Amino acid sequence: MFLQIFDAFKPRLHDSNSKVNQAALEALHGMVPLLKDHLSPVINMLIPAIVDNNLNSKNPGIYAAATNVVQALCQHLDTSLLLQPLCTKAQFLSGKAKQDLTEKLA
């Protein structure tokens, strides 16, 4: 059931409508502290959905929301769950997103 919910939620993190995209990121930011390590089964699906496009977004609201989600993940999840997916994404990103993830990993 948990996986099905996030399978349906994930496309909203890539939505072409910026308001939907931003609202999804903000909702996820609120969910992270509540779900904490229960997110472990979906973290490999969520990290790319959060990072791809959103951390390099020219829309300041989307960028801020994505940054807040990454920060919340780092605060509330076991860092060993985040290390591999964040390293993988940092390798293939460019620009501000690469800089932001590299700082988080450091």
The CATH number of residue 48's host domain is 1.25.10.10
The residue segments making up the domain with residue 25 are 1-104
Total domains, the chain: 1
Instruction: Quick: pLDDT tens for 49-91.
Output: 999 889 999 999 999 999 999 999 999 999 899 999 999 998 9
Instruction: Quick: pLDDT tens for 4-56.
Output: 999 999 999 999 999 999 999 999 999 999 999 899 999 999 999 999 889 99
Q: What is the pLDDT of residue 104?
A: 85
In the predicted model, what is the mean pLDDT of the chain?
93
Nearest Cα residue to 55 out of 71, 44, 45, 67? 67
Alpha helices, DSSP H only, in 1-106? 2-9, 18-35, 43-51, 60-76, 79-92, 95-105
Q: What is the pLDDT of residue 17?
A: 96
